[in-house]
Chains A and B, each alone.
Chain A
Amino acid sequence: MLDYARGFGILVGFHLLGMLLHRLGVPIPGGVLGLMAFYLAMTAGLIKLKWVERAAGLLLRHMVLLFVPLTVGLMEMGAVLSRQALAIAASLLVSLAAVLLTTGLLGRWLLPAEPLLAAAPPSESVEVSQ
């Protein structure tokens, strides 16, 4: 329990740091600034993986839960969405296919074939739905 509290405290702290930097005029979203600062702090060894692992794992595993209220909000956006439906749908499909194919084909070409992830520890944090 204390483990989760410490982890959440650190994550919220970096989020607030990011929001502060954003308020001070950095033109990048606060959450992203927080993420960059957090990643640097972890790379520099200032934050230990085991301090944040469990709290981060919980948040990421159930991230879909956190989208639900925004998605429900689409029920009120019918008018806005339908007025531009064609442009939005076409943009979505064209761009989705373009990103998948560009990244996939470039990845096949550029990423070396040896098993680079052999040393990866079990990834609790990217598992979803428990």
Chain B
Amino acid sequence: MNRFQWVTQNPAVSIAFTVLAYSLAIALHRRWRIVPPILVACVPIVAALLWLHEPYAEYNRGGSYLTWMLGPATVALGVPMHRHGMALRRSLPRLALVVLAGSIIGMVTAGLTAWLLGAPLAVVVSTVPKSVTTPIAIEVCRELHGIPQITIAMVILAGVLGASFGPPLLRLAGVRDDRAIGAAMGTAAHGIGTASLVRHSEMQASVSAWAMAAAGIFTSLLAALLALFLR
């Protein structure tokens, strides 16, 4: 109960405030590229919720409309996949193989590390889809009966860390080829990684966009097999 309730109860207000916080984060990101927009956008929202003593559920009545749009956004991945797929036609089978290998390694190493450190099964399966784009990762986590919030945290961190430290790590490993960098970033750091490449190289971003969509599809298919095995 508070005197701002008439404002905060309206879902349109949380949507508008989220868009505003996002625009601010993008403006800061343009100025200082190192600032990750996803984290900066959350700061004013979390601060406002704490200041107004608003529960997250109340904010999320509006927020869930934005979350719902991740579904059509997943389908929209088909557009860059199709466009760049046409241009990449000749090396598509090999690119698919590279992305498939990366996806398998990602699922196995994530789950295995958590399991070796004694995490319970629900946590172990939550780590498995951590490399793929958020909407797909959440769905894969649910299929495996994991805890979606763990997956969300890991996916976002994988994106942010991958976007910042992926290119230097690859350079250190001697990977300088645009296609290889794009494939690695799209497979490991999904949309956030892909987005960070756009300003550097059109080709890196194209391959990354294709790899990101393909990694999401491969991981879903592999997780369906894993779910059969776990049952």
Residues of B within 8 A of A49 (CB): 79, 82-83
Which residue of chain B has its CB nearest to the CB of A102?
A: B105
Residues of B within 8 A of A95 (CB): 105-106, 109-110, 113, 127, 130-131, 158
Tell me if B52 counts as interface (CB < 8 A to partner A).
no
**Shortest beta-carbon distance, B14 to chain A, in Å?**
8
Number of residues on chain A facing chain B (CB within 8 A): 88
Find out whether the CB atom of A39 lies under 8 angstroms from the CB atom of B81.
Answer: yes
Q: Are A15 and B75 CB-contacts (below 8 A) given A43-B82, A69-B60, A72-B46?
A: yes
Find out whether the CB atom of A107 lies under 8 angstroms from the CB atom of B183.
Answer: yes
In the complex, chain A residues 67-91 whose Cβ is within 8 Å of any chain B Cβ: 67-77, 80-81, 84, 86-88, 90-91
The residue that B149 contacts in the complex, of A32, A43, A77, with Cβ under 8 A, is A77
Chain B contact residues, CB within 8 Å of chain A: 14, 18-19, 21-22, 26, 29-30, 37-39, 41-42, 45-46, 49, 56, 59-60, 62-64, 66-67, 69-88, 90-91, 94-95, 97-99, 101-103, 105-106, 109-111, 113-114, 117-120, 123, 127, 130-131, 134-136, 138-140, 142-143, 147, 149-150, 152-154, 156-158, 161-162, 166, 169-170, 173-177, 179-181, 183-185, 187-189, 191-192, 194-195, 198, 202-203, 205-209, 211, 213, 216-217, 220-221, 224, 227-228
